[in-house]
Amino acid sequence: MKKFSTLLAAVLLVSSLLAAPASAAGSSAPETPQGDGYILQLRPDAALPDGAALEACYAPQGLYTAQYPAQVLELLGTQAVEYFEPNYRVALQGRVSDPYYSQQWNLRALDAEQVWNAPVSASGIRVALIDSGLSLTHEDLQGVDILVEDGVNLLTGSHDLTDKTGHGTFIAGVLAAARNNGKGIAGMIDGITIVPLKCFGEEIDTSIAYIVAAIYKAVDHYHCGIINLSLGLQTDAKSLREAVAYADSKNVLLISSTGNTGTERLLYPAAYDCVIGVGSVGRDGQVSDFSERNKSVFITAPGEDILGLSMAGDREYKQGSGTSFAAPHVTALAAVARGYDPEITADKFRLLLAASAYPCSGSASEYGCGIVNAGRFVDYLTSGTPSAADFPDLDGHWARVEAERGLRRSLFHGVSDTAFAPDARMTRAMLVQLLYNLEGNPVTGAAGFSDVPKTAWYHDAVAWAVAHSLVTGTEDRRFLPDDAVTREQLAVILWRYARYKQADVSQSAPLDGFADAAAVSAYARTALEWAGAAGVIGGVSATQLDPQGAATRAQAATVFNRLLPILEGQTPQQAFAAAAAR
């Protein structure tokens, strides 16, 4: 049993930053800078005036820093400045508690063995850690490929990576601690090249200029395809926004922590659309109390009581909690994706990440698209199954992720090689075929309907569904395979199927809250009351149920994805917790 050291530290908080960015035209520098002076961008055709006492932030992009208001005012008079803003302070997003666990529940919950055993090599994939440096002599970083060159330390312009806070060392351990070396812990991913860009000294916050410069350097100088940013600030700084947009334009995958105040407060860069914001869950699959709840949360990952490396000693370990420590789990999957497909786009990575996640029942502001499922992610990445990315009519569609989940489970198929038709009506034949696919296409007898010939693609599905009393035909022995399925018919058939699978269908919620509840047919009321209570089928709005409306393929995909956990007898959070407890 290892002896774990105790690290006493306060929660890492973001400084209050009130000043907004200012454009050069018609502006004057504030009397007192907020942060560490100012960050300026020169116009593309402007040269740095002789004698200007500025320091380069990232000269190739025309970015410089100034310490005093007079320096900014002098330059504004030359019309050389595109914009200026405070050189804000940026904070790390991890917090530490006393260590008391000796096992990595997070790796079991995410099924990390699937990552290790995947037919994928992440060898040579460069991952930038913009953080506080590394304890390079730690026993669990020996054998890990870490790039150390002049200029990696942005604070001093040197190659001194000494970690003064322990934050970067912890992140590196979660991501890539050496595995099968008989020491310490295992990281999420093997073989990557870590590019540490040290931007924090002895404090838990730093100037935004260092972060901005590090992003550009990671892309232009170190050629990193992935950047981990376990940090944040409250202000939407133009310099940071443009830096992450530049990285995104170069097809760099950007992953960031969302923050640790448990509020709706937005932090940047996680709040930028091109950045994957990662929130935190505990081993019970519930969102951590400290994890932010807002639109920046794209996905969640383990972030409580995570075992990692300590800077206190080369053989020391500790436990930490924070969205900072959730982010590298997603960063590891980005490396897996790039190892399998070096040209994978950020859009496709996001799609696979979202579709493979545990689709939690909580709000999107808490869970985003769910909890990371590394095992399923690897399956989806390597399966070769048609993807939503293959169907142009799913681009930008609200049900794109739901369609992807259906495609990956082979429940849904496109209506052609290039069309999914998400808004097309769901027919009776399509619906029974979905259920039949879910059952694994068992052997059946004859369908027995005049309009269901033996050569029809849906014949066996209809025969199976009728045999198990899931659907019926008309009195004159017709099935009407091309008829649209109404929303209430969809509820009835799924209710029957759930009973057939011996799932609990005892839940019931009154329909009185819907203005059109009277339009529900008597035979469908019980099924709709169950579907509403179980979260399988809701209203089309807060007041409209639309029971007689035709169900679309997109709606059907969504409903089926909601039904699957019920058939499995546990919620996604319970499935996650069970995996963590293995």
Task: List residues with catalytic annotation.
Answer: 131, 167, 324
Give the separation between CA 296 and CA 261, rounded to whole angstroms: 14
Instruction: Work out whether strand 317-321 and strand 306-309 pair parallel, antiparallel, or are unpaired.
Output: antiparallel
Which has the closest alpha carbon to 329: 373, 285, 364, 275?
Answer: 373
Which has the closest alpha carbon to 335: 125, 524, 508?
Answer: 125
Give the separation between CA 358 and CA 564, rounded to whole angstroms: 11
Residues 6+ apart with CB under 8 A from 156: none
Secondary structure letter of residue 342 according to DSSP: T
Residues 6+ apart with CB under 8 A from 58: 212, 213, 216, 217
The single-letter code of the amino acid at 192 is I
**Alpha-carbon distances, residue 127 vs 189, 190, 375 (angstroms):** 11, 12, 21
Give the separation between CA 195 and CA 414, rounded to whole angstroms: 42
Contact 335, 116 (CB under 8 A): no
**Alpha carbon distance, N-terminus to C-terminus of the chain:** 20
**Alpha-carbon distances, residue 213 vs 191, 523, 546 (angstroms):** 26, 65, 54
What residues pair up with 197 in beta bridges, in sequence order?
130
Secondary structure letter of residue 175 according to DSSP: H
Instruction: Work out whether strand 81-86 and strand 205-207 pair parallel, antiparallel, or are unpaired.
Output: unpaired
Residues 6+ apart with CB under 8 A from 575: 285, 358, 565, 568
Tokens, residue 63: 């970015």
Give the separation between CA 459 and CA 464, rounded to whole angstroms: 9
In DSSP notation, 526-538 reads HHHHHHHHTTSS-
Instruction: Work out whether strand 55-58 and strand 63-66 pair parallel, antiparallel, or are unpaired.
Output: antiparallel
Give the separation between CA 86 and CA 117, rounded to whole angstroms: 47
What does the CA dihedral 326, 328, 333, 337 come to, rounded to 10 degrees?
Answer: 140
Secondary structure (3-state) at 414: coil
